[in-house]
Structure 1
Amino acid sequence: MMEHGRKYVEGKEIPAEMLHEILLKLPTRDVVRCSLVSRLWRSAVKNSSFRKLHDASHVAAAAPPEVLMVSEHRKRKGRCAEASVFNVSSGKPMCHVVNPPGYSLTNVCGGFLCFAPTEEDRVQPAILCNPATGEKLKLPETPMSGWHDLVALGFSPSTSERKLFRYTGMMTSSKKYLDVYTLGESSGWRRHTYIPRHGPRCGSHLPVLVGGKLYVVIDRPEGYRRKPDRILVIDVASEMHCTYRLPRFEAGVQVNAFELRGQLCLAVSDGGWCKHPKVQFWVMPPLDRLVYSEDEGTELNWDLRYSFYIEGDFKRNFPFICFSDPPRGVWLDDKEMLCYRLGNTLYKYDTNAGSVSPNSEPLQWNQKLVLPPMPRRLDGQWGIYPGYRPTLLSPLTFLSPPSKEEEEIQQFERALLETLRTHMSQNVGSAVDERAAKRICGRINSSDVSLFPDIFKFR
């Protein structure tokens, strides 16, 4: 925002300082709408200093979490990975992201989406995207070797730092590592040794960010099957990490983690192996501090909050569950409805109606909806991602300073361009007709303006 000058709206002038204060008190979605008032307001919202102040304001911090629907698919020609992002509450599209082949959404962190390669070439760098502005940034590639099983973005409210975590395994060793990069810093990647007997599977258990900690369900290998057995907790600020044992559920084989009113909650289902399939929701107790245990799993007193039967002919709908489990998902919508997706069925329960007691019968779902299936000819998938809090902060804010090698390349390119321009002006400048030059400039400004689109687009 300009320090001097005045803004004019409907014939009335507003001091720049007052406009600044007004916009800082508005939620992100309202600020986006205000940018459509005039070019001056749009310019004020685009200002990087204002966007940083708004992101750090109490209004942005107190914003209620929203739920995103992300539809990912591939174009067979060129195999580029595309993702369409929608806000479930408003039902409106937010942005369309085109990534290199093999990329997929790994997690949502505040107002940013983190994309990383999950197939083909996993050594490629992660991509950070802000769906509210449509901007994205390719983060630095890690120079450390290893085949990653998980990439997740985390945020620490205490330090206001955003960090990228990369869970890495070695092909020739059983050792595991946590590679960490603080966004925007020049220090680069750091490596922490971690030697578990468990590990996350890429795309199997998505990480969840709650209160400055990342939670990832990890599996214990058992022959050809992998059983969820522990949960890995990473403190974003201190980068300390440890594991805790999952609750001792009856026959749980499928686990989905999500945030339930500021606490981590696990949706545990028996996978249809029982006569009456059931799903239970366990809440993790608050962790004041992380407790390290040499046996890789401290016991916790989990709280059983909800329990339901899964209705319908489960085995008939999913006969090959042992080889290909149907997609699942769980979230809490803006109306306090607990939503559980199993394949193409969505179950809903009003959490205001109460929870289950330890020895009582399972609760009854309030709604059961049939979701439209994705056409078979499309190579894609869709998922629900809760915990989104919109922000105006640009991913370009975290652009790391250039390395010495990059600085040398930039200096060389500037010197080369300057030499070429000097040579051209000495030999060609006198032969250029001034009127012809004006006509050329006019044609460029009028017809080729689409070559320079505004990267800041509000949806």
Structure 2
Amino acid sequence: MMEAEHIPEEIVANILRRLPPKSLIRCTAVSKSWRDLIFTPSFISLHLRYSPSFLLLQLCNERAHPNPSFAAVRYSLRHDDPFLSDSGSTLLLPPTALYREFSVVGVCHGLVCITAGHHCHSLVICNPSLRRYVSLPRPRHYRSLYTAAVAFSFDPLNQDYKVVRLSCMVDDERYGLSAPTVEVYSLATGFWRTLTGATPVCSLACVGKDSAHGFVDRVVHWGAQRRQDDFRWYRFVLSFDFVHEVFGEVLLPECLAYGPEDGVMVIGGREELSVYSIGGGFPSCCEIWMMMEYGVVESWNKVFSFTLKGFCLEVPAWGISVFNVTSPPVALYIRKSGEVLMLIDETGQGNLYSLDIERKRFAELGIGGEGYTWYLYSGYYAESLVLLNKVSGLVSY
């Protein structure tokens, strides 16, 4: 039999990349050469590239719990098939992150970022496949009334994972008239720092600010708005570049920028920037728009619309109606197939639907039901070997 140390490294790497992270950690005890190979950045990237990907759904049956704030959250991993069939696995997060007040806000390279509350003070970054996590130091707290939102991604230029936190003042004098305070946490340094560069005057749209964010080439996007001199709201998409740490603005079509919408949210999961608008008034019109050429306002294209009349959700173009709908549907995520995951509240039953615009299909997935109202995050997750081993305060669970 050929000695293990005589097998070419390329063949060893090709065999080992097929193993799950826990098995690979055990393999590091086989030999020094295997350990050195498994811990190299190139092998970690190779393993992640071939690791199977699942769709992560955050589910919570809060109405079945006597205290909804303590209702357990289940992070279900689903096969990316037409019916999102259950893989039988759930994401194993740190015990403190399994209550309703906590929510996943980002997944990157197998690392998961979790936060809690309107101020996003409690933040955790973990690798569920290795069951390791680090609690981030608390960011700043402000005396005035404010809300905060965070995003999580990787900076390939500096080989660093970062969290950005935007704090928007919402008191009567500053709401929509001041720039958010921006802090960036670096996993490499373990510290928060306040950005002093130019940040656009705005507040983040309340609708969808906690949902999976839209990324285009390491640039994250939020629905945003600002008040003008005539106190009309002007809506746009706020962007942040994780590499260069600069903000930008992406213009919306005029009908959305100055329209009567209750909110414009960015939908994550697609390379093309996509937004979902929820119209005010009666009947309420909800629309999905996609930007075919990034940054070119003329390339926005309305690809779909719903109409909510009373308690009836209608898809006029397809002749479809859904009854007993108590609020406008929420667009959660766009899958690799192009199908849009929609959450619809049908008289207290939170149900997931799949919207296939290309094939003109709108189907209930059979996920959710009575009491299921907590679906803030959905996105793709794959196990990884990102070790977090150079981070201070690392905890195993």
Tell whether 2:9 aligns with 1:32: no
Of 63, 71, 91, which residue of structure 2 is paired with 1:95?
91
Structure 1 position 221, deviation (Å) = 6.5
1: CA distance, partners of 2:11 / 2:307: 49
Counterpart secondary structure, 1:35: helix
Counterpart of 1:204?
209
Tell whether 2:77 aligns with 1:50: no
Tell whether 2:116 aligns with 1:107: no
Q: Note the 1:281-300 alignment, pairs <5 A.
A: 281-283=289-291, 285-286=293-294, 300=297
2: CA distance, partners of 1:48 / 1:77: 49
Counterpart of 1:9?
none
2: CA distance, partners of 1:230 / 1:65: 32
AA partner of residue 41 (structure 2): L
Q: Note the 1:331-350 alignment, pairs <5 A.
A: 331-333=334-336, 336-343=337-344, 344=351, 346-349=353-356
Counterpart of 1:267?
276
Asked whether the 8 Å contact 1:256–1:329 carries over to 2, the reply is no
Structure 1 position 59, deviation (Å) = 5.7
Counterpart of 1:15?
4
TM-score (norm 2): 0.70
Tell whether 2:216 aligns with 1:216: no
Counterpart of 1:245?
251
Structure 1 position 26, deviation (Å) = 6.5
Asked whether the 8 Å contact 1:34–1:41 carries over to 2, the reply is no
2: CA distance, partners of 1:99 / 1:53: 30
Asked whether the 8 Å contact 1:227–1:253 carries over to 2, the reply is no
Counterpart of 1:236?
242
Counterpart secondary structure, 1:314: strand
Change (3 A) 1:96 1:33: closer
| Per-residue Cα deviation, 1:26-47 (whole angstroms, up to 9, x for no partner) | 696x3208828x9547878996
Change (3 A) 1:35 1:261: same
Asked whether the 8 Å contact 1:247–1:282 carries over to 2, the reply is no
Change (3 A) 1:118 1:281: same
Change (3 A) 1:46 1:114: farther
AA partner of residue 104 (structure 1): S
Structure 1 position 157, deviation (Å) = 3.1
Counterpart secondary structure, 2:202: coil
Counterpart secondary structure, 1:192: coil
Change (3 A) 1:188 1:48: farther
Of 266, 275, 282, which residue of structure 2 is paired with 1:257?
266
2: CA distance, partners of 1:249 / 1:198: 20
| Per-residue Cα deviation, 1:369-412 (whole angstroms, up to 9, x for no partner) | 25454443x7x6134522434422134443379xxxxxxxxxxx
Of 375, 378, 384, which residue of structure 2 is paired with 1:382?
375
Structure 1 position 159, deviation (Å) = 3.3
> What RMSD in Å do the two structures reach over aligned CA positions?
4.4
Counterpart of 1:8?
none
2: CA distance, partners of 1:372 / 1:123: 28
TM-score (norm 1): 0.62
Q: Relative to total residues, which structure has the larger strand share, 1 or 2?
A: 2
Asked whether the 8 Å contact 1:107–1:208 carries over to 2, the reply is no
Structure 1 position 240, deviation (Å) = 0.6
Q: Note the 1:298-313 alignment, pairs <5 A.
A: 300-304=297-301, 306-309=303-306, 313=312
Counterpart of 1:71?
59
AA partner of residue 349 (structure 1): D
Counterpart secondary structure, 1:382: coil
Asked whether the 8 Å contact 1:268–1:279 carries over to 2, the reply is yes
Counterpart of 2:320?
none
2: CA distance, partners of 1:158 / 1:72: 38
Q: Percent identity?
A: 14
Tell whether 2:170 aligns with 1:180: no
Q: Relative to total residues, which structure has the larger helix share, 1 or 2?
A: 1
Q: Across the two proteins, how many residue pairs are aligned to each other? A: 354
2: CA distance, partners of 1:375 / 1:79: 17
Asked whether the 8 Å contact 1:104–1:116 carries over to 2, the reply is yes
2: CA distance, partners of 1:200 / 1:43: 53
AA partner of residue 159 (structure 1): N
| Per-residue Cα deviation, 1:133-153 (whole angstroms, up to 9, x for no partner) | 332221122256464511211
1: CA distance, partners of 2:121 / 2:36: 28
2: CA distance, partners of 1:367 / 1:78: 31
2: CA distance, partners of 1:384 / 1:370: 17
Counterpart secondary structure, 1:152: strand
Change (3 A) 1:17 1:350: farther
| Higher Cα radius of gyration | 1
Structure 1 position 263, deviation (Å) = 2.7
Structure 1 position 127, deviation (Å) = 0.4
2: CA distance, partners of 1:55 / 1:269: 44
Counterpart of 1:190?
194
2: CA distance, partners of 1:160 / 1:135: 20
Counterpart of 2:385?
392
